[in-house]
Amino acid sequence: MAIEINRNLKIEESEICYTFSRSSKPGGQNVNKVSTRVTLLFDVEASQSLSDRQRERIGEKLSSRIGKDGILRVVSQKHRTQKGNREAALERFIALVVAALKPRRRRKPTAVPRVVKEGRLEAKRRRSRIKRARARPSPDSD
């Protein structure tokens, strides 16, 4: 079965691996006995579902979450059940990949309007006159 990231990308579930460990979050006595914390592991480098461009983009945008081994890690321990944390980790993974693959909007270069430049320069001249008027007169200006 494939996980749909967007209409152009589906990642095979076999490419995603889950590991479970004990959570440090609420859970009463259950927290000491059951491994409810879920870590989703996705090997970005070895993924067959991603194109080279997608792999590169995910590597750039999610570099803080990808280890030196090229594996993307998403951890969830919000819920008290393994199933709840597994679903939360998968949702977070999808959201991260969608955000990483979203193209950046081009910045429209803008110029500072002439009126604004002139106003700034006039304010500087005004301030300069005020400071000059405050200064002591020089002895040779008699």
Q: CATH number, domain at 7?
A: 3.30.160.20
- 30 in a domain, yes or no? yes
Query: Which pLDDT tens digit goes with each residue over 96-133?
Result: 888 888 888 898 999 999 999 999 999 999 999 999 99
pLDDT in tens, 5-61: 777 787 878 888 888 887 776 656 666 677 778 888 888 888 778 888 888 888 888
- Is residue 8 in some structural domain? yes
Considering the domain boundaries, does residue 51 fall inside one?
A: yes
Structural domain that includes position 19: 2-101
The answer to whether residue 17 is domain-embedded is yes
Query: What does the alpha-carbon distance between residue 91 and residue 5 come to, in Å, rounded to a whole number?
Result: 10
Number of domains within the chain: 1
Q: For residue 117, tell me if it sits in a domain.
A: no
Interhelix angle 82-101/52-61, rounded to 10 degrees, is 110
Q: How many Å separate Cα 88 from the centre of its chain?
A: 18
Is residue 108 in a domain?
no
pTM of structure: 0.67
Examine residue 127 and state whether it is found in any structural domain, yes or no. no
How do 71-76 and 37-43 pair as beta strands?
antiparallel
113, part of any domain: no
